[in-house]
A and B are shown apart, each in its own frame.
Chain A
Amino acid sequence: MKISSYSKIGSRQVTLNHQCIAVPQTSNSWYVDIYHALQIDYPKFFKMDTLSKMGFLMAEMVFPSVFSDRESVKDQVAIVCCNSQASLETDRKYWQTVATNDAFPSPSLFVYTLPNLVAGEIAIRNHVLSETSFFVEKQFDADCLLSIAEMSFQDRQIKYVFLSWYDASQAVSYMIENSEEDNRQLIIKQMQEIWMN
């Protein structure tokens, strides 16, 4: 295995493979700033919850750096997303819309009370037709994350795993490519360094 590409969204900058791609520009949402910096034209982005926005933006950087044709159907890529709080942020927002007697529940908020929506948004945008999954873990654990990628590779059709982790204010994604090389410990070390820096 090897890391073919990675992206990271921090509170002060966005990086793709060691290169700074964007820094906050306006008083708008940081994620909207990134959207404009990447020159994306995908109106549905603005309807997404924070979790989906983070995943979508990271995929917008990583997928084109690995696959030259966005429109091609990809059945060799698995999407794996992980965090520690599932969809708690959106759950709270949705709860506020139903907490009063004259409540008007928001359908668009309700949709995102499923955390795995982020994997679906990435799959739709990038024409990924293979496996998508979402896991909840206590904290970032590169060893554990890589184990999940390895499970995906047990399906011989899968050549790449888009592996991502989300915190409240930062997120990271790695495109793990399957190969004959047995360098598990090195990859874990690289994943940790990318996450920590």
Chain B
Amino acid sequence: MDELILELKKEIISALNLEGMQPEDIDENAPLFQGGLDLDSIDALEIIVLLDKHYGIKLNDPRQSKEIFTSVASIADYVSKHRTK
């Protein structure tokens, strides 16, 4: 799981163009929205694209997405259980 969390942090930094940020700067348990990285709705869309592109995960239910996108750790947990590639 630690390896997947590190991988996700790197992908999020790259996809969201978080200039100057390193994986160790991101607390995997911190909230992604309204605190923590303080991401916005466009960032959420980028993460949805990232999950589809890299892990073959398609998120269709907005309520489910809110739960999954709580933190990097929660995304990693979902990816580990549902990835198709």
- Could you list which residues of chain A lie within 8 angstroms of chain B, going by C-beta atoms? 32, 43, 46-47, 104-108, 111
* In the assembled complex, B52 has its CB within 8 A of some CB on chain A: yes
Residues of A within 8 A of B1 (CB): none
Beyond A43-B19, A108-B43, 19 additional contacts (C-beta under 8 Å) are: A43-B18, A46-B17, A46-B18, A46-B19, A47-B16, A47-B42, A104-B49, A104-B52, A104-B53, A106-B49, A107-B45, A107-B46, A107-B49, A108-B16, A108-B17, A108-B42, A108-B45, A108-B46, A111-B42
**What total count of A-B pairs have CB within 8 Å?**
26
Output the nearest chain A residue to B44 by Cβ-Cβ distance: A107
**A129 shortest CB reach to chain B, Å:** 20
Output the nearest chain B residue to A28 by Cβ-Cβ distance: B19
- Could you list which residues of chain B lie within 8 angstroms of chain A, going by C-beta atoms? 16-19, 42-43, 45-46, 49, 52-53
Partner of B42, one of A43, A46, A105, A107: A107
Output the nearest chain B residue to A107 by Cβ-Cβ distance: B45
Q: How many angstroms from the CA of A104 to the CA of B52 in the assembled complex? A: 9
Q: How many angstroms from the CA of A104 to the CA of B54 in the assembled complex? A: 11
B19 touches A32 (CB 8 A): yes
Output the nearest chain A residue to B49 by Cβ-Cβ distance: A104
**A33 shortest CB reach to chain B, Å:** 13
Q: How many angstroms from the CA of A6 to the CA of B42 in the assembled complex? A: 32
A-B interface, 5 closest residue pairs, ranked by CB to CB distance from nearest: A107-B45, A46-B19, A104-B53, A46-B17, A47-B17
B49 touches A105 (CB 8 A): yes
Residues of A within 8 A of B49 (CB): 104-107
Q: How many angstroms from the CA of A32 to the CA of B20 in the assembled complex? A: 11
Residues of B within 8 A of A46 (CB): 17-19
B46 touches A106 (CB 8 A): yes
**B83 shortest CB reach to chain A, Å:** 16
- 8 A-B interface contacts by CB (under 8 A): A32-B19, A104-B49, A105-B49, A106-B49, A107-B45, A108-B42, A108-B43, A108-B45
Residues of A within 8 A of B45 (CB): 107-108
**A24 shortest CB reach to chain B, Å:** 18
Q: How many angstroms from the CA of A106 to the CA of B45 in the assembled complex? A: 8
Q: How many angstroms from the CA of A111 to the CA of B52 in the assembled complex? A: 20
Q: How many angstroms from the CA of A111 to the CA of B45 in the assembled complex? A: 11
Residues of A within 8 A of B17 (CB): 46-47, 108
Residues of B within 8 A of A106 (CB): 46, 49
Residues of B within 8 A of A105 (CB): 49
